[in-house]
Amino acid sequence: MKFADKYESEPAAIIRKSGAAIFLADSLEQQDVLMALGDLKIATTILGPQDREFHHLRNFEFIVADHLIAKELVLFFEEHEADADGISPAVIAVTSNELEDPSILTQEVCNFDGVLKFPMTGTEISARLSVIMHAHCAFAKRYSAAWRELRLNRRIFRSVTAGISVASATLPDLPIVYVNPAFEEMTGYSRAEVQGRNCRFLEGNERSQPALAIVRDALKNRRKGLAVLKNFRKDGTPFWNELSLSPIMDDEGQLTHYVGIQTDVTQRVELESALRESEKLAAVGRLASSIAHEINNPLTSVMNLIYLAQGTDPSQETKDYLVTADRELRRVKLITEQSLRFFRQSTKAQPTTAAELLEPILDLYQSHATNARVTINLRERPSRPIVCMESEIRQVLSNLVGNAIHAMQERGGQLSLRSRETRNHGRGRDGLLFTVADSGTGMSAEILSSIYKAFYTTKGIGGTGLGLWISSEIVARHRGNIRVKSTQSPGSSGTVFEVFLPFDGIAPYREGVDISQFS
Ligand SMILES: Cc1cc2nc3c(=O)[nH]c(=O)nc-3n(C[C@H](O)[C@H](O)[C@H](O)COP(=O)(O)O)c2cc1C
């Protein structure tokens, strides 16, 4: 006979906060238990097969059930977290003496809170239930205080903004046994994906970072350690992770776990590196500026001397040498002038619109473009102004426009100059995006990998190789970025530069604060 058929099918009122429930198929046994519970003055509900939705049964304090149901109940309560107080109902299994497998009732197999072995007299049942219930109540009182503390700790783990990870120190290779939601959010990996793995997978191919020595040393000596590691999120984006490691010991002083606290310090690390770079740049700038200054005067003298020498009716051979010397010196002069202009500029950061930046460049390059059969298409979308060093940004755009026209000078072409406001660019910042696109010859991968290097030029004698280097430094100083895409495919060749400048990349100029480091 099926379990369900043994029960009456009346629905029972099972949503209760306390009291006992009886889940028994044998009506005599049911009667005896009901009476015993009555003696103990415990409100009782009789359950039927329709009440096997175990979730509701958690609201009773005691459940007296046939041993098979009792076993299912115990497993269910173990699997599902206990209720708000952390106390599952006491489960009392009922059986008769003719049980085929008596081990079913042992404590090791099933965590029953008590067993009633029928046949029993009414007094025996009352006495036994009374003992079980008092023991359960006493346990529940103490347990619920501990449970509340545990739940508070769990809530703290879950709500802190730093990542928390716990690794087992007793299993091989320190597998993760727990991570909190902040860890999941920071790394993009879910708890299920990281559980059982060593955390080194976050390092990707960056397995020889110097900071790892600190982590290895801390783990080897079972000590605390603090290291900033380059890690990768699940989507492959890198971030700087400040990892604080601590060993956890048990009461006997044995190492059982390590806890790691992870903080995303990417912004701090990038700011520090930008600061170092700008200090370096300032030093280089001062040096370049003084060298350029020193070179400028003798250079002018030598160029004058060449001019004079050319007027003294030299031989054709000497004339040719003098022309070459003059051309080379003009190039040197261009480099010194460009360096001086860049490093000497004492600009003030102030709100500037895209139009203010782009229009003077158009004026400057229009005739040059016409001569090179280049058509310029300008499209500015309305945007808020950006705070920037106006002349520096104009220098960047002017470099890009000059390069674009140069790339098209042999065949002519289209130059598209665009600006638009962009949201959530790069690391979720808002700002202005400039696009300079040409239909020129395009660049090879080899050239692309070197374009931002100082003194690298593809323009031969006419170029200084400083334009894009300076541009990238200026954009970095404004905390923006510059990107390039280029193709040499016949028919669709060309290059697109994108310059992103955040609205607040640089602090606006205030009276009395000199932000020009290079004058
Ligand atoms: C609890 C715990 C958390 C850790 N968290 C990170 C982490 O977030 N990022 C990371 O790169 N390494 C983390 N590690 C360190 C790596 O698991 C590993 O110990 C490190 O890569 C050096 O060991 P290896 O040379 O065996 O890889 C953690 C280690 C432990 C024990």
Q: Using one digit for the tens of pLDDT, what is the confidence trace for 137-157?
A: 888 778 777 877 887 888 888
Residue 373's identity, in one-letter code, is R
| Ligand 1 centre distance from Cα of residue 254 (Å) | 20
| The pLDDT value given to residue 274 | 64
| The pLDDT value given to residue 106 | 58
Q: Which residues of the chain have pLDDT under 50?
A: 1-16, 108, 346, 461-462, 510-519
CA 108 to chain centre: 46
| Ligand 1 centre distance from Cα of residue 158 (Å) | 21
Taking the C-alpha atoms of 81, 86, 87 and 93 in order, what is their torsion angle to the nearest 10 degrees? Answer: 20
Neighbours of 351 (CB within 10 A): 13
Question: What are the chain's domains?
Answer: 4-157 (3.40.50.2300), 160-264 (3.30.450.20), 273-343 (1.10.287), 345-519 (3.30.565.10)
| Ligand 1 centre distance from Cα of residue 245 (Å) | 9
Neighbours of 491 (CB within 10 A): 4
Taking the C-alpha atoms of 191, 195, 199 and 202 in order, what is their torsion angle to the nearest 10 degrees? Answer: -50
Angstrom distance (rounded) from CA 184 to CA 193: 10
Residue nearest to atom 14 of ligand 1 (CA): 199
| Ligand 1 centre distance from Cα of residue 203 (Å) | 8
| The pLDDT value given to residue 260 | 97
Mapped onto helix, strand or coil, the DSSP state of residue 435 is: strand
Angstrom distance (rounded) from CA 364 to CA 466: 20
Atom of ligand 1 nearest to the CA of 212: 22
| Ligand 1 binding site (Cβ under 6 Å of any ligand atom) | 165, 167, 174, 198-200, 202-203, 212, 215-216, 219, 229, 231, 241, 243, 245, 258-260, 262
From residue 286, give the alpha-carbon distance in Å to each of 4, 63, 281, 345. Answer: 91, 85, 8, 12
Angstrom distance (rounded) from CA 265 to CA 340: 37
| Ligand 1 centre distance from Cα of residue 202 (Å) | 8
